[in-house]
Amino acid sequence: MSLCLCSDPGGVRLVGQPSRCAGTVEIQHQGHWRPVGDHFKDWDLKSGSAVCHHLDCGSAVSVNTTDDSTDRPVWFVSVPCVKLTSGLRDCVGLDDSYHEKSAVAVVCSDLLPQPNISLSDGVFEVYQQGFRVLVGSDFTVTCSVRPQYPGGSFQLISNTKKRLNLTLPAVNHSAHFLLSAMGYAHRGNYTCVYHVDVYNRSFSSSQSPALYLTVGDLVTNLIIRVVVLVSALLIFDLCLFFFYKVRSHLSSVDPLDFRLSHTQESELDMCAAMFVPGLREADPNEGGDKRDESCGRNIPFVESQWFSVSPADIWIGSTVSQLNQ
């Protein structure tokens, strides 16, 4: 547990405790920080509250006298003066020769720091001053506080149509409130309050900053998704249209335009088979073109070779044909 040694420009502080709003009263006077002695035991809640107000820590909830093992220099402060004026240092005695074992210890009401509040584990987005949560989703509100005292609990409060007032124990100085099935009744402000028992008293922090939640309409989200999907499909269709259009244009000027009907292909196959070696004996005295009456076309005769037409021959023939035309 860390000790707080805090001061303000006014030269008054509370030291020795984890909170800046609790501890031994020290005042800076004549360039020296010294505790305030309580020789006459006349410090009470009213004079202690003057210290708390000066430090912006609320009011005093306890004023005690601590005892040290040895004498030490202390400041003597006029309690009647403190009750009449807010200038604590103006009430310090001029004699700096006081030595005491005792000192004044004050605990203020605003002992605890303001907790933090946040949203997590839900389908949400930042919306103006708060968050938009998708209707029907689960979400978690987290309350946390700066480590000072162990234990304690967090209280979650809302001003929604369906008001919430939930309490969970603090674990590692935080608590997680799981809220299910976000609906319009959850729309509103959420705040956290931290509670802890110290110094044999129960303390509560001030409320955290408000966390505003609104609800995202599911229909609106679906419409947005449908519009995006339709736009994507239209773009895809346009791409396909232009792709096939370009491909069709390239096919219309393809030099390998060698299309035959089924009948022509059959005739060509029959004619070629007649000149396949092994199926018909070729007359060595005959050369040039042979006309087969059943085919009705001239087929070049190549001795002892298979009949074949390479793609290059087709392309050259097609090109020559186009030039002749």
**pLDDT score at 215:** 81
225 vs 216: CA distance, rounded Å: 14
The strand pairing partners of 153, in sequence order, are 169, 195
What is the distance of C-alpha 251 from the center of its chain? 53
169 vs 184: CA distance, rounded Å: 28
Q: Which two tokens stand for residue 76?
A: 């003597």
Helix (H) or strand (E) holding 320: helix 311-324
Could you tell me which of 75, 47, 205, 187 has the C-alpha nearest to residue 131? 187
Could you tell me which of 168, 170, 193 has the C-alpha nearest to residue 179? 168
Phi-psi domain of 224 (left: phi exceeds 0; alpha: psi -120 through 50; beta: other):
alpha
Higher-confidence residue: 236 or 126?
A: 236
Q: Give Cβ neighbours of residue 49 (< 8 Å, ≥ 6 apart).
A: 59, 60
Is the per-residue pLDDT at 40 higher than 70?
yes
196 close to 151: Cβ distance less than 8 angstroms: yes
Is the per-residue pLDDT at 22 higher than 90?
yes
Question: Phi first, then psi: what are they for 272, rounded to 5°?
Answer: -65, -35
Give 37's DSSP letter: P
The mean pLDDT value for 168-175 works out to: 96
**pLDDT score at 221:** 57
Scanning 63-204, the segments in alpha helix (DSSP H) are: 79-84
User: Which residue's entry shows tokens 């793609």?
Assistant: 311
For β-strands 116-120 and 32-35, DSSP reports them as unpaired
**pLDDT score at 274:** 52
Tell me the domain boundaries of the chain. 12-108, 116-216
272 vs 306: CA distance, rounded Å: 9
**pLDDT score at 11:** 86
**pLDDT score at 63:** 95
pLDDT-derived band of residue 16, with 50, 70 and 90 as boundaries?
A: very high
**pLDDT score at 122:** 64
The strand pairing partners of 117, in sequence order, are 143
State if pTM tops 0.75: no
CATH architecture of 116-216: Sandwich (2.60)
The CATH code of domain 12-108 reads 3.10.250.10
75 vs 177: CA distance, rounded Å: 49
Mean pLDDT score of the chain, rounded to an integer?
Answer: 76
35 vs 159: CA distance, rounded Å: 45
